[in-house]
Homo-oligomer: A and B are copies of this chain.
Amino acid sequence: MKIVFAGGSGHSDRVISTYETIPGAVCTAFCRTGRSENPKAAARIPDLREYADAVEMMEAEKPDILVSDGFFSTHAPIAAEALKRGISVLSDKPAATAFEDYLALAELVRKPGAPLYWGLLTSRYQDCFYTAKKLVEGGAVGKVRMLNSQKSYTLGNRHEFYRHAETYGGTIPWVSIHAIDWMAWVSGLKYTSVYSVQSSACNRGHGDLEMTAISVLEMEDGCTASIHSDYYRPNGAKVHGDDRLRVAGTEGVLEVRGSKVYLLNAENDGETPLPLLSPPRPLFPDFVRALHGGTGSLISPEDSLYATYVALKARESAETHERILL
């Protein structure tokens, strides 16, 4: 099983750190897709061949799996080239930064007999979110009525491609998308409308990059949801991100905060962190298992497309100031 990297930094680390546990898996090549620094893949895996271009790499290497995490605008076109060649794809989110790219990709992903396509929906493999999913599925909060999420990152000094809307795609598709995904996943509900606001003011010279974004969403059954994302976590903060989720239901309230899970219901006081559950296996082994026909994976091709669809519509709402039906 031959693996190549387009980008090879960012969330490729999910592959780099686990591929050796998979019998027969071998990483052979990478390309930079515009990033100039030496990617993690090249630094941590010996003897990777470098190509100037993703298509040239696919043609020469004929890989089984392409891992794509270059500039965010390259995710969709590179994934499309791979799928057309019968290569399975593990792509960072968002699946696309332009809506027309999303539509073209979705058609390829949904084609009968298409190679496997997954987005790197990494939060699903964090113990805290996995535990939240299992508890909510098990009825810990009763019927889910409202979900509220936070994403907060440190800004630091970001690569040039974050500073241009064409290559970055926006804070909603890059940051809020995690919460868009985990709220649908944890609740099992689809979104029915979205409205967003955002601002790129006070972004310390980061061009187009939006420093804050808020989306409010309606879901099936009159359930409601919101996400606020920002880059205002101070650079000196001990932990890079501050992800939070709150799920209010007819029988209680569950919270994910500081990678811990709290539950307030008839049996739990909401103040003592609950024991965490772990997913059966990490993301990349789960992907390879699905590739071999295994069922019960934490991600599906449709879920991967859905998070991007909602994120791109949420961004469109922020740009048009209109509520958008989903």
Interface residues, chain A, with chain B CB atoms under 8 Å away? 143, 145-146, 148, 150, 152, 193, 195-199, 201-202, 211-218, 221-226, 228, 230, 232-234, 236-238, 246, 248-253, 264-266, 269-270, 321-323
Partner of A234, one of B201, B218, B228, B265: B265
Q: How many copies of the chain does the oligomer comprise?
A: 2
Do residues B226 and A195 form an inter-chain contact, with CB atoms below 8 A?
Answer: no
Do residues A264 and B233 form an inter-chain contact, with CB atoms below 8 A?
Answer: yes
13 A-B residue contacts at CB 8 Å? Answer: A145-B212, A145-B230, A146-B214, A148-B214, A195-B216, A197-B216, A214-B216, A214-B226, A232-B252, A232-B253, A234-B251, A236-B266, A237-B270
Do residues B199 and A145 form an inter-chain contact, with CB atoms below 8 A?
Answer: yes
For A236, what are the chain B residues with a Cβ–Cβ distance below 8 Å? 266
Closest residue on chain B to residue A223 by CB atoms = B199
Given known A-B contacts A197-B216, A226-B214, A323-B321, A234 and B145 have beta carbons under 8 A apart: no
Do residues B202 and A143 form an inter-chain contact, with CB atoms below 8 A?
Answer: yes
Do residues A202 and B145 form an inter-chain contact, with CB atoms below 8 A?
Answer: yes
Partner of A222, one of B146, B152, B199, B252: B199
Most chain B CB within a 10 A radius of its CB, from A197, A223, A252, A265: A197
Closest residue on chain B to residue A228 by CB atoms = B148
Other A-B contacts than A143-B202, A232-B252, A234-B265, 4 sampled, CB-CB below 8 A, are A145-B211, A145-B212, A148-B150, A214-B216
For A215, what are the chain B residues with a Cβ–Cβ distance below 8 Å? 216
Partner of A146, one of B193, B228, B253: B228
For A228, what are the chain B residues with a Cβ–Cβ distance below 8 Å? 146, 148, 224, 226
